[in-house]
């Protein structure tokens, strides 16, 4: 076991380079097995979710070569194997092998995906979409068996613009006969990234990034390359760190357009920053103003930054509200922020935060990935030492966290504990 130890209150200055997006690469790797040849994914982050997906591809007989931040995937001899429960439930994105294997072999055996616990995280939209394409789904204990004699293009209207379902249905339909239309599709940049990769392989996809995606099936998918887009959630997390403690802290390798909703909230809070084509320089704001935030699908304010921004809101003058609309239960950070000194109350899915507070270091526990990010932000701003356990959650999404933060002045390290 490990813990993250942070001595708070240090100024942050210098540059933090953002890595490739977790939520893109976790779809691009499963997408790679759709090719009958070799594909290369560049700008791959070194996070634990990627390690699990590499294990699954190797289990399926894919050949991987890792060179610096690139992964070469040879999918010529991919075989269809049951993905065992201990791999399926290590991360959410294992569900992308449902769409990819269904597309390639018309048969998949896999277990329910894992991922952070935010209440029920159903996959019914994915399954209904596979059925619309002609698949039948049976359960054997907790194993899903998804089978199709043939896959035929279909009209699919999602009940909600789910990121996972949109990507999974693109994967499942790229080789189906005829045209598939996904209505009410999610519009997140990660979807465009996956659609570009599939198009580079030879797929025919129109409208990714809008709410209607049209896919015309092709027979074969071939060689392709793709760059993982910068991680907008990692970038947003470090922008919040900059607003708390920055002295000209530069967040580089970003696409500012993907950050428009978080930047809008920072401006409302009085935070000042300067923006260039692919970087933003931000400094501590001494006069933070309270504001209200409601999580929405892209381009609205992302649920993945709803927990981290609570730290900044807790330092702001006045009362702020955060309304979580995407998940039924994503409040694992609240009890620990309270222990660290925040004045924060929850009713249903609404947090009411009254500031400004002074954070004080203590022993806390990461309950999920972004709750963990919230705690390291509070710890950076706190007086004294904070120790965070369960850091395996944090390492799922933040590459090289300790180096990135210590290089800009934070006092942070990881310790082994019993």
Question: Which residues lie near ligand EPU (CB under 6 A)?
Answer: 22-23, 26, 92-93, 116, 121-126, 160, 162-165, 233, 302-304, 326-327, 369-370, 397
Of 22 and 265, which has the nearer Cβ to ligand EPU? 22
Minimum separation from the CB atom of position 55 to ligand EPU (A): 17
Of 190 and 357, which has the nearer Cβ to ligand EPU? 190
Provide CB contacts within 8 A for 183, sequence distance 6+.
Answer: 155, 156, 157, 158, 211, 212
- For residue 156, give the DSSP letter: E
Of 35 and 303, which has the nearer Cβ to ligand EPU? 303
Helix axes 124-132, 163-173, angle to 10 degrees: 20
Residues 134, 414: Cα–Cα separation, whole Å? 49
Instruction: Give which of 346, 386, 331, 381 is closest to 364, Cα–Cα.
Output: 386
Of 316 and 391, which has the nearer Cβ to ligand EPU? 391
Helix, strand, or coil (residue 5):
strand
Minimum separation from the CB atom of position 89 to ligand EPU (A): 13
- In degrees, rounded to 5, the angle at the alpha carbon of residue 22 between the alpha carbons of residues 261 and 275 is 40
- For residue 342, give the DSSP letter: -
The C-alpha R_g of the chain, in whole angstroms, comes to: 21
DSSP bridge pairs for 94: none
Tokens at 386, concatenated: 């904070």
Minimum separation from the CB atom of position 358 to ligand EPU (A): 28
Minimum separation from the CB atom of position 295 to ligand EPU (A): 9
Residues 341, 223: Cα–Cα separation, whole Å? 54
- By beta-carbon distance, which residue lies closest to ligand EPU? 164
Burial of 48 (0-12, 13-18, 19+ CB in 10 A): middle
* 114-122 long-range contacts, CB within 8 A, separation 24+: 114/88, 114/89, 114/90, 115/91, 116/92, 116/368, 116/369, 116/370, 116/393, 117/329, 117/367, 117/368, 118/327, 118/328, 118/329, 118/330, 118/368, 119/327, 119/328, 119/329, 119/330, 120/328, 121/92, 121/327
Minimum separation from the CB atom of position 167 to ligand EPU (A): 7
DSSP bridge pairs for 365: 389
Q: Do β-strands 385-389 and 70-74 pair in parallel, antiparallel, or remain unpaired?
A: unpaired
Tokens at 62, concatenated: 């894919």
Minimum separation from the CB atom of position 278 to ligand EPU (A): 22
Minimum separation from the CB atom of position 139 to ligand EPU (A): 16
- For residue 238, give the DSSP letter: H
Catalytic residues: 116
Of 273 and 298, which has the nearer Cβ to ligand EPU? 298
Of 256 and 397, which has the nearer Cβ to ligand EPU? 397
Residues 285, 311: Cα–Cα separation, whole Å? 13
Of 22 and 258, which has the nearer Cβ to ligand EPU? 22
Of 142 and 287, which has the nearer Cβ to ligand EPU? 142
- At 94, give phi and psi (nearest 5°): -60, -25
Minimum separation from the CB atom of position 257 to ligand EPU (A): 17
Q: Are 161 and 208 in contact (CB under 8 A)?
A: no
Provide CB contacts within 8 A for 159, sequence distance 6+.
Answer: 125, 184
């Amino acid at each position: 076991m490990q813990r993250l130890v942070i001595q708070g209150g240090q100024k942050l200055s210098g540059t933090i380079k953002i890595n490739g997006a977790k939520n893109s690469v976790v779809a691009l790797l499963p997408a790679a097995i759709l090719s009958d040849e070799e594909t290369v994914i560049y700008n791959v982050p070194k996070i634990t979710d990627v390690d699990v997906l590499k294990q699954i591809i190797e289990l399926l007989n894919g050949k991987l070569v890792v060179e610096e931040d690139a992964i070469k995937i040879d999918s010529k001899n991919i075989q269809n194997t049951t993905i065992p429960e201990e791999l399926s439930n290590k991360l959410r994105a294992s569900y992308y092998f449902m769409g990819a294997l269904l597309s390639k072999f018309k048969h998949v055996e896999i277990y329910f995906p894992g991922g952070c616990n935010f209440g029920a995280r159903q996959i019914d939209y994915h399954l209904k979409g596979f059925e619309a394409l002609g698949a039948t789904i049976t359960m054997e204990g907790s194993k899903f068996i998804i089978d199709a004699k043939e896959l035929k293009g279909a009209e699919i209207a999602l009940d909600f613009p789910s990121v996972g379902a949109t990507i999974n249905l693109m994967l499942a339909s790229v080789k189906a006969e005829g045209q598939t239309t996904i209505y009410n599709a999610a519009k997140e940049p990660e979807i465009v990234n996956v659609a570009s990769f599939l198009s580079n392989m030879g797929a025919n996809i129109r409208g990714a990034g809008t709410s209607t995606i049209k896919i015309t099936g092709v027979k074969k998918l071939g060689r392709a390359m793709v760059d993982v887009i910068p991680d907008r959630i990692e970038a947003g997390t470090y922008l919040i760190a900059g607003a708390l403690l920055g002295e000209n802290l530069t967040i580089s390798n970003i696409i500012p357009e993907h950050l428009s909703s978080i930047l809008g909230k920072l401006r409302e809070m009085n935070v000042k920053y300067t923006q260039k084509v692919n970087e933003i320089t931000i400094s501590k704001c001494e006069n933070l103003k309270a504001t209200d935030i409601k999580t929405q699908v892209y381009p609205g304010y992302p649920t993945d930054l709803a927990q981290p921004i609570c730290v900044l809101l807790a330092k702001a003058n006045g009362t702020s509200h955060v309304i979580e609309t995407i998940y039924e239960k994503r409040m694992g950070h609240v009890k620990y922020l309270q222990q660290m000194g925040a004045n924060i109350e929850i009713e249903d899915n609404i947090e009411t935060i009254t500031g400004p507070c002074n954070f004080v270091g203590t022993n806390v526990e990461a309950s999920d990935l972004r709750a963990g990010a919230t705690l390291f932000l509070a710890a950076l701003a706190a007086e004294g030492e904070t120790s965070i356990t369960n850091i395996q959650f944090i390492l799922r999404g933040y590459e090289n966290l300790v180096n990135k933060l210590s290089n800009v002045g934070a006092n942070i390290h990881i310790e082994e504990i019993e």
